[in-house]
Amino acid sequence: MAESTLLRALGEPARGPSGPARVEVRGWLVDDRSAEGPLRLVDCSSVTKFEVQADPTGALAGQLAVAVGESELFEAGIVGASPAPGEWHLFVPGATDGLLRLLEGVAAEEFVTVVEVTHGRALLRLSGLDAPRVLSLLCGLDLSDAAYPSGRVTVAPVAGTRTLVLRDDVFADELSLAAGDAAEEVDVPSYLLCCDRSSGQWLAERIVVAGAPFGLELEGYAPYRARRDDV
């Protein structure tokens, strides 16, 4: 059974009255701790992940309609991102049957490469008003709202690790933030960070260190997932 990045990186949290420290999500052991602070790191590595390649001007590109450098939220909570022409990363929090039928249908018309990389990639979500400040300590990207708005995606070194950086803002109530905590912001900056699983522990630890002065808290995927329909 696979183990989540945060569990491996930071050790098993103490058991509390709310229940066991680990729960199983689709064959993964994930942390069930909850967070209450405005800056949080969540391990989403148990999400099913696909890397897809096809003709950037072909039928699949037309079906997905995700521009290079951008991302989209599809039905069933699927997040699709295109960091390069003819390349898509698909993150699927639920059943994959519908997506696979779509890909198989398009593959009958053109050559499409689909690789499931769920167990080969770590996926973290960093959320909070201070998330851009924390992430800027670890990479050279311009993370200002003008240069890197929600929906933007690229591949860049983060803490020296090749990482897909996808900005995917969340609503304050999805983090259970009070209106005052949100500082009158409707959307809260949030980043999906996907890297090789072998580097996931390193990346998680670097984020924890960088986020400590800002009050970063860790939250398990199980309670986080209960509040959201997507990744």
Question: Average pLDDT for residues 85-106, to the nearest whole number?
Answer: 90
What's the CATH fold of domain 2-46+121-225? Gyrase A; domain 2 (3.30.1360)
Question: Average pLDDT for residues 66-88, to the nearest whole number?
Answer: 95
pLDDT attached to residue 48: 93
Model confidence at 108: pLDDT above 50: yes
Nearest C-alpha neighbor of 155 from the set 171, 139, 168 = 139
pLDDT attached to residue 75: 87
CATH 3.30.1360.120 residue ranges of the chain are 2-46+121-225
Residues 22, 214: contact at Cβ < 8 Å?
no
With vertex at residue 191, the alpha carbon angle to CA 189 and CA 196, rounded to the nearest 5 degrees, is 170
Model confidence at 23: pLDDT above 60: yes
Put simply, whether the predicted model's pTM sits higher than 0.85 gets the answer: yes
What's the CATH fold of domain 48-118? Alpha-Beta Plaits (3.30.70)
CATH 3.30.70.1400 residue ranges of the chain are 48-118
> Could you tell me the pLDDT band of residue 4, with boundaries at 50, 70 and 90?
low
The pairs formed by 100-105 with CB atoms below 8 angstroms and a separation of 24 or more are 102/63, 103/52, 103/60
Model confidence at 106: pLDDT above 50: yes
Q: How far is Cα 231 from Cα 228, in angstroms, rounded to an integer?
A: 7
Question: Average pLDDT for residues 41-47, to the nearest whole number?
Answer: 92
Q: What is the DSSP letter of 14?
A: P
Q: Cβ of 94: how many Cβ atoms within 10 Å? A: 16
Per the model's pLDDT, the better-predicted residue between 76 and 147 turns out to be: 147
- Which residues, in sequence order, are CB contacts of 121 under 8 Å at separation 6+? 45, 49, 194, 195, 196, 197, 200
Which amino acid is residue 121, in one-letter code?
R
